[in-house]
Structure 1
């Protein structure tokens, strides 16, 4: 048993020795309930050794079934004969910190969360609590709110406070704390219109699209990814959906594609998960150009589970790495084309489809969005507004 830092996570059944308000504290979980026991000792080398000895005793009792849930057996009076702390120790149940609460909340929510949500959203909150916030105790909720407002965008600040409030609501229901200090804080933040990343629609023109595809085809280093880039442009699917395609999802007559899974970032790396961002699955009709592309890249002897677009190593393509390296490098070589993220391939397909007369509902069905989203974010940008002579 060793003391834990903020970033570490102890195995179940381990008693952690932590420093809270410059006093040593024992933190552990038994039968799903989390315990916090203050030793009353200041954080010194000698006192930490005694606290660690007490932690080992608790661990042994847990393993042997002799754990005392009242904690009376473990309160520090028996330690006073061995170590005299500089002040009289006070035995009390110490309120958990945000670090502890978020860790427990994450474990509670983990079974129902997708790998990408855990890796992106929940890990981001944990890092903010552990690394960035100036304080992480519940009695400093106002300080935390003010710091977020001063150091984060309104959208990021609102999302962070929403997450902290949800965590504390759960903690109240779990009888870990008495009240939620972050309640209603997020609702006080008003977001300016157009601030969300969903509105970042800046499509390429047809000429730019074709030049980018040709740029990959002519690139000595990134030619391998040319079919993948062309596929994104002519289907409008999300990159995560294209990466997850296997040949079982392409009909044998090359008439339809079945999107039903996506490759996402998890805590352990890239993983393939069933279902899509906004739906379980969707079918995409294959036109002549797309059929020719797929036929040209299908390897002989491909089985149903063979990836349609594997990485050079045969694993899932890491689109974040591709966006940073290959995508950026190819566009930089093309004069007159402004850099835009890889995801703009999707925006380009949707915008060009609308400009070429496709019905909004049909476009929404092809790309897995609702007609409302297409109307709100694309329809107004897909046509030129002409002011008549009055």
Structure 2
């Protein structure tokens, strides 16, 4: 039982007490229908207690399956027959699409541009393809989603619909959340281990790729970036966001503080990193040489270290599909994504005796991640003599 002074989810079979024209009214759902039952009571503390008793009676009857569908049992008796009629509360029925549009606009200022483009745009696309937006058919919506969308994406979409409707309940747009708890019933297949995604290049492969970029007629422009990625373990999105103000004048330290993301309006910079606000990276002689080779004479603080040929942010998607794939296709090397440059740096650093905790600080991961996914795989097993 809830009063109209409390926001939140109305559980199935609950009776809400609302005030209309200073009169108390009972609102509840049963058999797929919404009922509005006038009590005739004025909205005072004394009569609120009586309304709560009537609401409790209805809830118990619903619970024990003895609900009077004629409502005669719950209507005011003759003692209330002289009460001034109460104007029913009319709640316009809204559909899922209408709620979703309002929810997305509410979320927009709270989310990164890339989240709005990659996540909520995809969910909106899913929503458009649904055969119905009727909230009373939430189970049909779930079944359709599971049949037409990959299981992992389907579960995340149902989670998003639950959050949307939960927000709608609190905002007074609907009384119940039909997707509540639904995602918990969706079982996902066992996912692949993270280790399977870690497929670093060997030292020889690394050097071969760097040299191939240096010599490529069309893509040698990207050679410094590729060499930088291999020698710092930086995430590609962090590297292309670097400006000269992030590098000390003696080229000994780099401060990673931001990353380039994909937004609805194109590429944009997001302050902060994936797992931390920023990190300080000490440059060895090889990295200093890379920086020295690309630093213009009249460098401005806001100039990019690795601009695109047009002087803007490098589009990593285009870089991978054009430059990276093309160059690797000409080598006798199994194709891996550019992100494997990061895995290569971590693996080689551990293999050359650097402590896992220090590697974690260099690349912006936790020591636990390094130990679990990298260091553990480098240990050679042996059988001691007993």
Q: What is the alpha-carbon root mean square deviation over aligned residues?
A: 2.0
Structure 2 alignment gaps of length 5 or more? 1-89
SS in 1 for 2:99: helix
Matches within 5 A, 1:187-202: 187-195=184-192, 200-202=197-199
Distance 1:319 1:139 in 2: 43
Residue 112 (structure 2) aligns with = 114
Residue 69 (structure 1) aligns with = none
Q: Is the 8 A contact 2:194 2:373 kept in 1?
A: no
Residue 232 (structure 1) aligns with = 229
Give the aligned length: 297
SS in 1 for 2:119: helix
Point out which structure has higher relative CO (alpha carbons under 8 A, 6+ apart): 2
Residue 48 (structure 2) aligns with = none
1:105 aligns with 2:109: no
Residue 63 (structure 1) aligns with = none
* Deviation for aligned residue 1:191: 3.3
Q: Is the 8 A contact 1:351 1:381 kept in 2?
A: no
Structure 1 alignment gaps of length 5 or more? 1-91
SS in 2 for 1:262: strand
SS in 2 for 1:264: strand
The change in CA–CA distance for 1:389 and 1:187 in structure 2 (over 3 A counts) is farther
Match of 2:345 among 349, 367, 374: 349
1:285 aligns with 2:279: no
TM (normalized to structure 2)?
A: 0.72
Residue 79 (structure 1) aligns with = none
1:366 aligns with 2:348: no
The change in CA–CA distance for 1:218 and 1:319 in structure 2 (over 3 A counts) is same
Q: Is the 8 A contact 1:99 1:136 kept in 2?
A: yes
1:257 aligns with 2:271: no
* Deviation for aligned residue 1:98: 2.5
The change in CA–CA distance for 1:357 and 1:136 in structure 2 (over 3 A counts) is farther
The change in CA–CA distance for 1:195 and 1:277 in structure 2 (over 3 A counts) is same
Q: Is the 8 A contact 1:232 1:242 kept in 2?
A: yes
The change in CA–CA distance for 1:303 and 1:157 in structure 2 (over 3 A counts) is same
Residue 304 (structure 1) aligns with = 301
Larger gyration radius, structure 1 or structure 2: 2
1:246 aligns with 2:243: yes
Residue 381 (structure 1) aligns with = 377
Residue 35 (structure 2) aligns with = none
SS in 1 for 2:299: coil
SS in 1 for 2:178: coil
SS in 1 for 2:100: helix
* Deviation for aligned residue 1:192: 3.6
Residue 165 (structure 2) aligns with = 168
Matches within 5 A, 1:86-165: 94-130=92-128, 132-165=129-162
The change in CA–CA distance for 1:139 and 1:197 in structure 2 (over 3 A counts) is farther
Q: Is the 8 A contact 1:101 1:168 kept in 2?
A: yes
Q: Is the 8 A contact 1:355 1:383 kept in 2?
A: no
TM (normalized to structure 1)?
A: 0.72
Q: Which digits, 9 at most, give the CA deviation of each residue in 1:255-291, with x for residues without a partner? A: 1100001111011000112111111111011001000
Distance 1:198 1:323 in 2: 22
Q: Which digits, 9 at most, give the CA deviation of each residue in 1:141-194, with x for residues without a partner? A: 222322333333332222111111111111111111111111112222333444
* Deviation for aligned residue 1:135: 3.0
The change in CA–CA distance for 1:210 and 1:109 in structure 2 (over 3 A counts) is same
* Deviation for aligned residue 1:199: 5.6
Distance 1:183 1:195 in 2: 28
* Deviation for aligned residue 1:108: 0.8
